[in-house]
Structure 1
Amino acid sequence: MFRLAHISDIHLGPLPALTILELASKRITGFVNWHRNRRRHLFANTLDIVMNDIERRDPDHLAITGDLVNLAARIEIDTVAKWLEEIGRPENVSVVPGNHDAYVPGAYERSTKGWYAYMRGDNAPSGWDEDFHVFPYLRVRDNVAIIGCSTAVATPPFAASGYFGRRQARETVNLLRAAGEAGLFRVVMIHHPPIDGATSFHKRMIGIRRFAATISSGGAELVLHGHTHLNTVYWLKAAAGPVPVVGIASASQGPGGHKPPAGYNMFSISGGPGHWNLLRERYELDQYGTDVLLAETTRFQPGE
């Protein structure tokens, strides 16, 4: 049995002091939003409680589906790099970026370079190369194929959309097919929910139909995403049967907000090709913000 933990939307705080030059961009809208809304509900100690509970349960691997920072300032990206080193070795933690990690032009390149060890495919170059397409990447752990995709792009103020393009779609199909032929359980990681209507228009993923076609053509057993800060389960069609698409609340969301409190998914994967078994245990911060409790258990049988 392979056990995979899933968290998302870290928004690692607190927000650092920024220069006037750094704020002279889209960051000013995010800066204002943080101080008016987010800082009241996103707490670092909440993230610590969640991570301590995950560590106690000792999963085989940890998947993080984006938005590790808030405004993608250089100091934030460096701080997340140190945080990643604290929570696990690169071979045991897989990351994909979110829209906040590509908040302004140039941020995507800085974040992927800074966190490359956690987004490096098994056959990718050992060091970050600006001419190399990091995504999609493939990591094989035990009998599980972890495929990381990116929808992270810089957007105008008041927009938080993502993009899944043709090149990435083609390469993802090839990785999915090869992993399926090898008899592996295929997990796809992506930040934006690849479901029409799952979020508002200005926060949507551009290329939803392309992604759906990718899953339909390549095949998969599980898709993980973040972005909405909600605990959700959707489905996508594939030749072998419907594929669960699972979202999770922000890992830093304190209790009492309009979004669900912080939590994580723990997936237990067993069985084999044609008869996979997938158990999802969703853990959630309690109403006092001091402990993490089992909130929901769901059993999936992908392809049936």
Structure 2
Amino acid sequence: MSIYRIAHLSDPHLPPPRGAFGWKDVFTKRLLSRIAWRKKRKVHRPEVLAALVADVKAAGPDHVVISGDLTNFASHTEIAAATKWLESLGPASDCTVSPGNHDALSDKGRAGAGGGERFAPWTPWLGDADEVQFPQVRVRGPVAIFNLCSAVPTAPHLATGRLGEDQLQRLDKALADPAYKDLFRLVVLHHPPHKGAVSKRKSLDDQEALRALLAKHGADLILHGHAHETIIGSVPGPRGSAIPVLGVPSASSGRGGHSPARWHVIEVEAKPQGGHNARIVVRGVEADGDGLSELGRYSLADVA
């Protein structure tokens, strides 16, 4: 049986290009984000992100998943710069992006509820529908990627997420679709779907509604970012089963302030008797330098 390999990284927080913050932003939430960035820029290091991306490319995964926060202020200048960065990773058909709260920030549109014109430049990376809509389902090899968007504008000092009723209704139908029942069903969003992963001011507002759908229909794995640290957890699946949940630290984080940068390789292999085996390979910043190496590996069955 062949192995399909998915790379998961998150929260790169690309350095803001010149012009990313203008005088009009003084009257928006972007001012607070700019103040915060003056501290965070010592944590989010371009050279660490470059090393991590080089490590991903050297591994040659079949598909790359990025679970949000490519930008810091969600300005049009940043979105454009992030688009160029995505283009540098390879074909858009081989990379799926789920936007994060920093990618929405103070946008008037509600990305999680189906709007989000700001994400239009990222359309080729959101899915195969050639439009900004969520969820989108991408079938790649033995994997069905259910790409969600929890990124919505929030009030100052909040970093919550929301999927919205419309998106949840569409997800209900997508998870129930028999076309995907024999595939490895991978759900991707920015905010953790389980309780206690982050503080309330950073949590997913409608996480209970999402968990209800997952308990009803099931899934094989959920990937997220947002917490800036490695998180291994689970949410209830059908008939008392558990669905593994994995989060990774920021892809640009050096040592200090956050967990050092890591990324995961998810190796999916179909079993002869049906179903799938999945293994996780953890790669990240070495303890004694900025290089990256393998930090461990485990079976997904051990998580659930």
* Shared fold per TM-score greater than 0.5: yes
Helix, strand or coil: the match of 1:205?
A: coil
Match of 2:124 among 76, 99, 117: 117
| Structure 2 residue runs without a partner (length 5+) | none
**Equivalent AA in structure 2 for residue 32 of structure 1:** I
**Aligned-partner Cα distance in 1 for 2:288–2:15:** 20
Q: State which of 11, 14, 17 in structure 2 corresponds to 1:12.
A: 14
Q: 1:72 and 1:81 mapped to 2: Cα distance?
A: 12
Alpha-carbon separation, structure 2, partners of 1:179 and 1:76: 39
Write out per-residue CA displacement over residues 140-183 of structure 1, whole angstroms, 9 at most, x where no aligned residue.
01111001001110001111000122221221122122256541
CA–CA distance in structure 2, aligned partners of residues 209 and 97 of structure 1: 20
Give the CA deviation at 1:262: 0.6
Q: Is this contact kept in 2: 1:9–1:227, CA < 8 A? A: yes
Which structure 2 residues correspond to residues 1-304 of structure 1 after superposition, within 5 A?
Answer: 1-14=3-16, 16-17=18-19, 18-35=21-38, 37-106=39-108, 108=111, 109-121=116-128, 124=129, 126=130, 128=131, 134-178=133-177, 182-239=181-238, 241-255=241-255, 257-272=256-271, 274-301=274-301
Q: Per the alignment, in what secondary structure is the counterpart of residue 47 of structure 2? A: helix
Deviation at 1:295, TM superposition (A): 1.3
State the one-letter code of the partner of 1:199. V
Moved over 6 A (4+): none
- Looking at structure 2, the residues matched to 111 and 247 of structure 1 have their Cα atoms a distance apart, in angstroms, of 25
Residues 16, 71 of structure 2: 8 Å contact kept? no
Give, in angstroms, the shift of residue 279 of structure 1: 0.3
Alignment partner of 2:238: what SS? Answer: coil
Query: Which letter does structure 1 place at the counterpart of 2:248?
Result: I
Deviation, structure 1 residue 111: 3.6
Looking at structure 2, the residues matched to 105 and 91 of structure 1 have their Cα atoms a distance apart, in angstroms, of 26
Question: Does structure 2 retain, via aligned residues, the 8 Å contact 1:65–1:190?
Answer: yes
1:12 deviates by 0.5
Question: What is the alpha-carbon root mean square deviation over aligned residues?
Answer: 1.9
Q: Secondary structure in 2 aligned to 1:145?
A: strand
Give aligned pairs, total.
Answer: 294
Contact conserved, 2:127 with 2:147, CA < 8 A, in 1? Answer: no
Q: 1:82 to 1:166 in 2, by over 3 A?
A: same
The whole-number CA distance in structure 2 between the counterparts of 1:47 and 1:258 is: 16
8 Å Cα contact 2:232-2:303 kept in structure 1? no
Q: 1:27 to 1:60 in 2, by over 3 A?
A: same
Kept in 1, the 8 Å contact 2:101–2:161? The answer is yes
Which residue identity is paired with 2:8? H
Q: TM-score, normalised by structure 1?
A: 0.91
Structure 1 residue 220 displacement after superposition: 0.5
* Normalised TM-score (structure 2): 0.91
| Cα contact 1:119–1:137 (8 A) shared by 2 | yes
Q: Does the 8 Å contact 2:44/2:253 carry over to 1? A: yes
Between the aligned partners of 1:292 and 1:261, the Cα distance in structure 2 is: 10
Contact 1:155/1:161 (8 A) holds in 2: yes
Deviates more, 1:287-296 or 1:219-228: 287-296
